[in-house]
Every structure is written in C-alpha cells, then in structure tokens.
Amino acid sequence: MSDLSEFLLARIAEDEAGCRIALAVVPDHEWAGFVLAECAAKRAVIQIQPSDTQSCGAYHPQYDTFHPDGHPNEVLCILATVYADHPDFDQRWRA
C-alpha cells in the first residue's frame, strides 16, 4: 500500500469517526447515511488499486498505483485533493 493510500484511508477513517460522533448527538440525521456510504465507496476505490510493486508494463494510471516515473495514481490524487489542507498532505498528490 502506498503512502497516498494510507493517507486516504486515515482521512476516511477520521470522516467516518466524526460522522458516528455526530450521530451520537443527532441520531438519524439524514446526511449520516450518505457520509458513511461515501466512506465505503472511497475505500472500495482504494482497494481496487494494485500494490505499489505491481505494474501493467506500460503507463496506465487507471491500473497502476504508481506510474513508471514514480508519480502517484491520478484517481487517488483526485480523492486526496479534498484533504489538501491536512498537514500530512503531500503536494505531489495535487491533482
């Protein structure tokens, strides 16, 4: 798993935890189901990315976690942009 994937999974876990805390205060809030489903969907996108050591033998960002030149996968970069203000965000991930 890449640093980018780990970063994303940590942020998603924070989002999910925040949602669950909010639900304890305001049970059955209409946005909670959406937030939890979004967290699950983001995890699924990350999980279908191959490991850093796998390669399709050519430049195919949709299949490869890292491009041959070491740049992060564009799909994961797009997911990460919503967390660009986080102190652990790496500017190389900017989509």
Predicted pLDDT at 73: 77
18-57: pLDDT as tens digits: 999 999 998 888 889 999 999 999 999 999 876 543 333 3
Average confidence (pLDDT) over 3-22: 94
Query: Over the range 48-77, which residues count as b (16 or more CB within 10 Å of their CB) and which as e?
Result: ebeebeebeeeeebeebbbeeeeebbebbb
Q: Tens of pLDDT along 51-80?
A: 543 333 344 455 444 455 555 677 888 899
Using the predicted structure, report yes or no on whether residue 15 has a pLDDT greater than 50: yes
pLDDT on residue 72: 66
Residue with the larger pLDDT of the pair 95 and 43: 43
Single-letter code of the amino acid located at 49: Q
